[in-house]
Chain A
Amino acid sequence: MKARLDGRTVRSRALDLRERGVSAAEAVAAVRDPHGWLTCRPPGPAHAHVGLLDGSDVDLERALASAARSRGLVPPRSADLEDVRERLAEPVPDATGLAEARERAARAEDAVRDLRERVERLGGKVAALRDVDAVSTSVREAHRAAAAELADAETERVAAAESLTRLRREARRVRDRRERRLALADRERRLSREARSALADAVRPSFERARRAVPSGAWRDALAVARVARMRAPVVLAGGPFERPARAAACLDAPVILAGPRV
């Protein structure tokens, strides 16, 4: 790796930046930034798990699986998993306009009910007035207008109901597809769990050997995973059992940066 610090460029496989006030977080950010002050190989799959060692616990199975990936191992049924993930990446089906259609149908039903009452009322009035031979044009006209409005409202109600039925059918198809998608997501989870455990198992013997080759103590598992993984980008250590960066690089078989406490 190549580091540009204070106007000077340093090339090394093992850097000690503790005295320069570079925190572990800054160092990790620089490793992951292709345009920063540090030039190095891009981080591989294991870097997310053991790219920063600060004494905290690692999720051993995930970390081991990532180490196996960094060594080019491919889990069984990875093509299936890829296929499932591709299908899950497709856009989620949706249907729109259902709420509007429900509202329109409800309004149309209300309108028909109101108008029907009005037509009946006016019809009754016309009949009553006719009995006493006193039908006025205005009442008759109001009755006729209400009847025409009712006819329009009934047409609208039929149209609204049809549109709602059509959208409900569409929503049902959308939900069928969403249901298949949920099943697919379950399958994705199952397959990736299987892949992870197969990958971790594949490197577990190497991990056990590596544990005997790294310093004992709380950092042991994380160091052993880093040693098993093929780390092309530098591993950042915030503290830990190594005093000299070259020792750390040799032990982890990886480029190494010793940095200040994690900020």
Chain B
Amino acid sequence: MDRPVLLVVAYSKPARQALRNACTAHDDVVVRRFGRAVLLRETEYGAFLACRFRERFGTAVQVERTAPLNEYRDVPERVREAAAAYEARESPSTPYPKFAAGTDHPDPDAMRDAPLDGTE
């Protein structure tokens, strides 16, 4: 998946059923199917389907544009490095806050409140 996609999630049984039917009928638009969610190719036709879902189901569907994450572009280096270091830790049972304490790795609470650039 190297291009942006539309994420459509169903929040009611009729919406879920309609999503399922649409996936079967338009599988060329579907990038991936999950239980109640589907990723559509970001084309006018994908948007056409997404808009139809919104018209029919209102709040019972959620439509988002999503894009692939390039951590080398979108994620601060210290965060990336902390993730790599933590995954390479010697003791698997060490929780991250303990692992990060007393090192240069970022504090988990500070990361929680820091938005990624360009996101909310």
CA distance A92 to B59 in the complex (A): 11
Chain A residues in the interface with B (C-beta under 8 A): 92-96, 98-99, 171, 174-175, 178-179, 182, 185
A186: nearest chain-B partner, CB-CB:
B13
Q: Which of A94, A179, A182, A185 contacts B58 (CB 8 A)?
A: A94
Q: Which of A94, A99, A179, A185 contacts B13 (CB 8 A)?
A: A185
Interface 0/1 of B14-52, CB less than 8 Å to A: 001000000000000000000010000000000000000
Chain B contact surface mostly: helix
Contact present for B59 and A171 (CB under 8 Å): yes
B residues in contact with A175, CB < 8 Å: 9, 11, 59, 62
CA distance A175 to B62 in the complex (A): 8
A residues in contact with B54, CB < 8 Å: 99
Interface 0/1 of B41-84, CB less than 8 Å to A: 00000000000001000111010000000000000000000000
Q: Does B94 sit within 8 A of A, measured CB to CB?
A: no
CA distance A174 to B57 in the complex (A): 13
CA distance A217 to B5 in the complex (A): 60
A177: nearest chain-B partner, CB-CB:
B11
| Inter-chain contact total with CB atoms closer than 8 Å | 28
B residues in contact with A92, CB < 8 Å: 12
* Shortest Cβ gap from B118 to chain A (Å): 15
B residues in contact with A171, CB < 8 Å: 59, 62
A residues in contact with B36, CB < 8 Å: 182
A residues in contact with B59, CB < 8 Å: 93-96, 98, 171, 174-175, 178
B residues in contact with A179, CB < 8 Å: 11
Instruction: Name 18 extra pairs, CB < 8 A, besides A175-B62, A182-B13.
Output: A92-B12, A93-B59, A94-B58, A94-B59, A95-B59, A96-B58, A96-B59, A98-B58, A99-B54, A171-B59, A171-B62, A175-B9, A175-B59, A178-B11, A178-B12, A179-B11, A182-B16, A182-B36
CA distance A217 to B85 in the complex (A): 75
B54: nearest chain-A partner, CB-CB:
A99
CA distance A49 to B62 in the complex (A): 41
Closest 5 CB pairs of A and B: A178-B11, A95-B59, A175-B11, A174-B59, A94-B59
CA distance A98 to B9 in the complex (A): 16
CA distance A98 to B54 in the complex (A): 10
CA distance A96 to B59 in the complex (A): 8
A102: nearest chain-B partner, CB-CB:
B54
A residues in contact with B58, CB < 8 Å: 94, 96, 98
CA distance A171 to B11 in the complex (A): 11
A sample of 28 inter-chain contacts (CB < 8 A) reads A92-B12, A93-B59, A94-B58, A94-B59, A95-B59, A96-B58, A96-B59, A98-B58, A98-B59, A99-B54, A171-B59, A171-B62, A174-B59, A175-B9, A175-B11, A175-B59, A175-B62, A178-B11, A178-B12, A178-B59, A178-B60, A179-B11, A182-B11, A182-B12, A182-B13, A182-B16, A182-B36, A185-B13
